[in-house]
Amino acid sequence: MLAGAATALLAGLTLIVSYVIVRNGMYEDLRRSLREDAATLASVYALGEGSAGGSLSGPTGGVVLQVYGPGAQLLAASRSEWETPQAAIPPEVVIGAGLVPTPWSGRLLGRPVEAALAPFAVGVVAVIADPSYIQDTLRSLSRTLLLVAAVLVVLSLLVGYLVAAASLRPVTLLARRVSRLDPDRLEPLEYDGPRDEVARLAETVNELLRRLAQARAAQRTFLAETSHELRTPLTSLRGFLDRAARLAGPAAAEDLGDARRVTGTMARLVEDLLLLSRGELVREINPHLVDLLQDVARPVAAEFPGVRVEGGAPRLVLGDPVRLRQLVRNLLANAVRAATGPAGVAVRVGADDPRTAVLEVEDDGPGIPPEMQERIFEKFYKGAGGGSGLGLAIARQVAKHHDGTLTVESRPGRTVFTLRLPVVQEEEEELEARA
């Protein structure tokens, strides 16, 4: 767009400059011819070698000739209509021309004219030309220049587009490859083009990707090692608090209970960090044949009083039961915190189609704003419900490692987290045989 505007502007400026140059050149040529004709006629009359009529056919070249007397009065003209007072050049101009040759531009007989005046022994001779042919020529030239400029603009845009497309093709290819990257797959970009600016850009991006990959690896290692190191003292602390609660009297029981709850919260946070780091460092899962209803939904729901379990036929998936229970546990923990109405929290197991198992966790809480519905799955993002900001990130990571998806739909009074997992091949074949 900018290139087209610049091309059009340049073409317009070129048109204007060309027009001005040609116009000035044509007027200058006409005035020079008039000056030469006037000087030639003045010399002829000064020598007495001819008359006005005889001189007209030679040096004037078809222009109009006028002769003025010493008092600036019009004496004669080469054409009768130019002998009238309306065709006379202003006296002050004629008087000035009696001293020195003078060019003049003005209007005579209702049309613009160009004239050159030259003195001779007994008066002034004037050679007059109609410059309208110059305007006709300029109009024709303008149309030609406009046509040429339009063609040049179109050609410039076409050539500019082709050149820009060819120049930007490596950048477009590089951008497409960058768009396919994600935080879990920071692979170097391949570039096999010439050693130009795009190659330097690719090298800079690859260096940045290398540093980001190193930083993420260091972060994962730190989370894994720190979480692992924190588990032992927290486990010991929980054991000491349990023993102290058994040995202490009723006066200290409440304080010890609070301390045990705080320790439990810290332990769950450490477990979440450990699971998150392990999920990023270890991609493999420990596969088992898992019934989502009996092996996952019911035992996890039993940990949360008041949670309803709804389901039909068993849905078998191939997955890690420990991680799948952790996924559902994280969803239920968030749902229980958000639930406010009598509907409470429900877990449903079903299917969208014969090849997909579906587990839904629904609550009747205030809902999640649309702009936050994707952000809640980011690590350490805390919504209005509180929490560590890790539960949903871990849940989506577990779903991804099981070739599944975890999505959310929410409005005030109803929020549903939906887990979709592929069923095992044996179940697919059985369902196809039944059909």
How high is the pLDDT of residue 435? 47
* CA 31 to each of CA 164, 250, 323, 356: distance values in angstroms, whole numbers, following the listed order: 49, 122, 99, 94
Residue 84 dihedral angles phi and psi, to the nearest 5°: -80, 160
Cβ 48 vs Cβ 42: under 8 Å: no
How high is the pLDDT of residue 61? 46
How high is the pLDDT of residue 296? 92
The architecture of the domain spanning 2-136 is 2-Layer Sandwich (3.30)
**Average pLDDT of the segment spanning 263-271:** 72
Looking at 282-374, list the stretches that DSSP marks H as alpha helix, in order from N- to C-terminal side. 298-301, 321-338
Q: Does domain 197-281 have CATH number 1.10.287.130?
A: yes
Per the DSSP assignment, residues forming a β-bridge with 274 are none
Q: How far is CA 111 from the centre of its chain?
A: 58
Cα Rg, the chain, nearest whole Å: 48
Per the DSSP assignment, residues forming a β-bridge with 76 are 67
**Average pLDDT of the segment spanning 85-98:** 92
How high is the pLDDT of residue 51? 47
pLDDT band at 134 (very low <50, low <70, confident <90, very high): confident
Which CATH superfamily hosts domain 288-434?
Histidine kinase-like ATPase, C-terminal domain (3.30.565.10)
| C-alpha distance across the termini of the chain, in Å | 59
How high is the pLDDT of residue 408? 94
Say how far apart CA 413 and CA 396 lie, in whole Å: 23
Q: Where are the domains of the chain?
A: 2-136, 197-281, 288-434
- In the predicted model, is pLDDT for residue 387 greater than 90? no
Residue 180: exposure state from Cβ atoms within 10 A (0-12, 13-18, ≥19): exposed
Per the DSSP assignment, residues forming a β-bridge with 357 are 421
**Residue % of the chain over a pLDDT of 70:** 83
* Position with higher pLDDT, 363 vs 49: 363
Instruction: Give the highest mean pLDDT range of 154-163, 378-387, 426-435.
Output: 154-163
- In the predicted model, is pLDDT for residue 419 greater than 60? yes
Whether 288-434 and 197-281 are alike in CATH topology: the answer is no
Model pLDDT for residues 174-231, shown as the tens digit of each residue: 777 777 777 667 778 777 777 778 788 888 888 888 888 888 777 777 767 776 677 7
How high is the pLDDT of residue 241? 77
How high is the pLDDT of residue 57? 38
Say how far apart CA 239 and CA 235 lie, in whole Å: 6
Model pLDDT for residues 58-84, shown as the tens digit of each residue: 333 468 999 999 889 999 998 899 999
- In the predicted model, is pLDDT for residue 431 greater than 60? no
How high is the pLDDT of residue 52? 42
Whether the CA torsion 40, 42, 48, 50 is positive or negative: it is: positive
* 3-state secondary structure labels for all residues of 387-416: CCCCHHHHHHHHHHHCCCEEEEEEECCEEE
Model pLDDT for residues 308-331, shown as the tens digit of each residue: 998 777 789 999 888 898 899 989
Say how far apart CA 387 and CA 405 lie, in whole Å: 22
Model pLDDT for residues 328-344, shown as the tens digit of each residue: 998 998 899 888 766 68
Average pLDDT of every residue of the chain:
80
Element (H, E) at 116: strand 111-120
- In the predicted model, is pLDDT for residue 260 greater than 80? no
**Average pLDDT of the segment spanning 88-104:** 92
- In the predicted model, is pLDDT for residue 8 greater than 80? no
What secondary structure does DSSP assign to 127-174, as a single string?
Answer: EEE-THHHHHHHHHHHHHHHHHHHHHHHHHHHHHHHHHHHHHHHHHHH
Closest CA to 150 of 26, 32, 11, 247: 11
Here the tokens at position 84 are: 């009238």
pLDDT band at 290 (very low <50, low <70, confident <90, very high): very high
What amino acid is encoded at 215 in this protein? Answer: A
**Residue % of the chain over a pLDDT of 90:** 24
Instruction: Give the highest mean pLDDT range of 71-75, 232-236, 430-434.
Output: 71-75
Q: What is the pTM of this model?
A: 0.47
